[in-house]
Amino acid sequence: MSNHNGNPMLPESFSVKRIKNETDDTFTVELQPSKKVLDLSFEAGQFNMLYIFGVGEIPISISGDPCSTDSLVHTTRVVGTVTKAMRKLHVGDLIGVRGPFGNPWPVEEAKGKDVVLIAGGIGLAPIRPVINYIISNRNKFENVVVLYGTRTPKDILYAKEIKFWEKKHRIQTFVTVDRAIGEWEGNVGVVTKLVARTPFDPKNAIAMACGPEVMMRFTVRELQKRGIANSSIYVSTERNMKCGIGHCGHCQFGAEFVCKDGPVFRYDKIAHLFDVWEV
């Protein structure tokens, strides 16, 4: 979607086409434009500013398929006032959308390489467009591996879809949970532990990680131990994005603005900021 109205600060009107609970505290909302003709194209990793009228506006990553853009798909967690209000929307309700904003994942650069995608918790949502893109262009990528960590088995996002990534699309997927009670037969432990056993060629691989910052810090260390260069590691950061165009300064991260220069950064460009306590 381009900022078609010429003003990136002016929201476009969309209506809720579908809304679906993913887990106890996450949901996916699918939006369609109120105007018939609107370019909804985006690049994997970008985000939109979603505005619940009378409540507020928040940044949410696009979690749909960049190769099929007839609607906008966002998955988020019910965590604050705006997402609580968003969860209460019904099909047909209106919502304001600005975007897409931000620097995307390097999917073109990943062609011809092994791809390691590492996600934690709700961090799988911004990674999902990369997976969808790879599925549509599977032969252009070498070995593709998804490592996904979450709290408990009932917190697994896109649980049904994940099963098909491996079965149908040759995307090896390893899921691990922090805690398991009962029938769970999969991995237990943090997602970083999976990196050591992941099949990829560090000399010809690209890694993309999204999740809580502390998880990404440990993930980067594990990737480095495997011999992957910092310039081949990409992370998606999160800050308090407001304007989306690098003007307001709310999301300043060192000398960078997360909304404009990120949210996806090549790790070697921001490595020095990862060790700073409060940026």
Partner 1 sequence: MDTLERFLADHKFLEEMKPEFIEQIVGCASNVHFSSGDIICREGRDADKFYFIRDGKVALDIHMPQKGSISIMTLDSDSVLGWSWLFPPYRWQFNARAKTEVSAIAIEGACLRAKCINDHEFGYEILKRFSRILAERLQLTRLQLMDVYSANG
3-state secondary structure of 202: helix
Q: Per CB under 8 A, which of residues 23..42 are in contact with partner 1? A: 25
Q: Which residues contact 6 (CB under 8 A, 6 or more apart)?
A: none
* 225-230 long-range contacts, CB within 8 A, separation 24+: 225/195, 225/196, 226/195, 226/196, 226/198, 226/200, 226/202, 227/202, 227/203, 228/116, 228/200, 228/202, 229/202, 229/268, 230/266, 230/267, 230/268, 230/271
Pick the piece of the chain touching partner 1 (CB under 8 A) from 4-12, 35-43, 89-97, 181-189: 181-189
Is 193 a residue that touches partner 1 (CB under 8 A)?
yes
Is 122 a residue that touches partner 1 (CB under 8 A)?
yes
Write the secondary structure of 211-228 as one string of H (helix), E (strand) and C (coil): CCHHHHHHHHHHHHHCCC
Whichever of 79 and 91 has its CB closer to partner 1, that residue is 79
Is 218 a residue that touches partner 1 (CB under 8 A)?
yes
Give me the torsion for CA of 201, 204, 209, 214, rounded to 10°: 70
Whichever of 84 and 167 has its CB closer to partner 1, that residue is 84
The binder of partner 1 chosen from 13, 55, 85, 184 (CB under 8 A): 184
Q: Could you tell me the smallest distance in angstroms from the CB atom of residue 155 to partner 1?
A: 7
Amino acid occupying residue 273 = L
The binder of partner 1 chosen from 13, 172, 187, 252 (CB under 8 A): 187
The binder of partner 1 chosen from 42, 47, 77, 258 (CB under 8 A): 77
Pick the piece of the chain touching partner 1 (CB under 8 A) from 28-36, 99-107, 145-153, 239-247: 145-153
Burial readout 209-240 (b: 16 or more C-beta within 10 A, e: otherwise):
bbbeeebbeebbebbeebebeeebbbbbbbbe
Q: Could you tell me the smallest distance in angstroms from the CB atom of residue 201 to partner 1?
A: 19
Q: Could you tell me the smallest distance in angstroms from the CB atom of residue 244 to partner 1?
A: 24
Pick the piece of the chain touching partner 1 (CB under 8 A) from 49-57, 100-108, 176-184, 231-239: 176-184
Q: Which of 254, 278, 276 is nearest to 265 (CA)?
A: 254
The binder of partner 1 chosen from 37, 181, 255, 276 (CB under 8 A): 181
- Which chain residues interact with partner 1 by CB under 8 A? 25, 77, 79, 120-122, 149-151, 155, 176, 178-182, 184-190, 192-193, 197, 211-212, 214-215, 218
